[in-house]
Amino acid sequence: MSDAEQPGLYVESTVIMTTVRVVTPFILTFGLFIMFHGADSPGGGFQGGVIAGSVVMMLAFAYGIEATRDWLDSRLVVAIASLGVLTFAGIGLGSILLGGTFLEYHRYPIEKASKYGIELVELGIGGIVASVIIGLFFVIAAGFGHAIDGGDES
């Protein structure tokens, strides 16, 4: 017990690894499920994004934080966050180009544009939230020394 409580010490456990491997796809699906439910029922990008982001945290607990950090391409995380913002803004600005006001969904020439529009926006928000949660997790896991050394990249 006392060994396991020491910070930074990773213990490989078959039980945890197997469980995470089985559960992960379901959690990711559940995260998406919550995101898509932002339009017409409680749910949305914030909650769904946190759930989707927690998948990476579970992987980190099961396979070790450093291993997960190496496995996950940090550029992907940054790209998802930026694209999330651009998705939201793009949907908003697109309706202006189609002659409406900002975020006026029903200007889009598709059926149930309002519902699909909101779902796409929620997906964008979910991407932002998940990326930020993952980023925060790795930054905190890296500890203070890293934060001060890497504070200014100039």
CB of 41: closest distance to another protein in angstroms? Answer: 19
84 phi/psi in degrees, rounded to 5 = -60, -45
**Cα 17 to chain center, whole Å?**
21
CA 53 vs. chain centroid, Å, equals 4
| Nearest distance in Å: CB 68, another protein | 20
40 backbone dihedrals φ, ψ, rounded to 5°: -130, 5
> Applying CB under 8 A, which residues contact another protein?
75, 78-79, 81-83, 85-86, 89, 92-93, 96, 100-106, 147-148, 151-154
Cβ at position 145, least distance to another protein in Å: 11
**Which residue lies nearer to another protein by CB, 19 or 82?**
82
Amino acid at residue number 126: G
Shortest Cβ 148–another protein spacing (Å): 6
Q: Is 5 helix (H, G, I), strand (E, B) or coil?
A: coil
Nearest CB to another protein, comparing residues 20 and 108:
108
Is-contact 27 55, C-beta < 8 A? yes
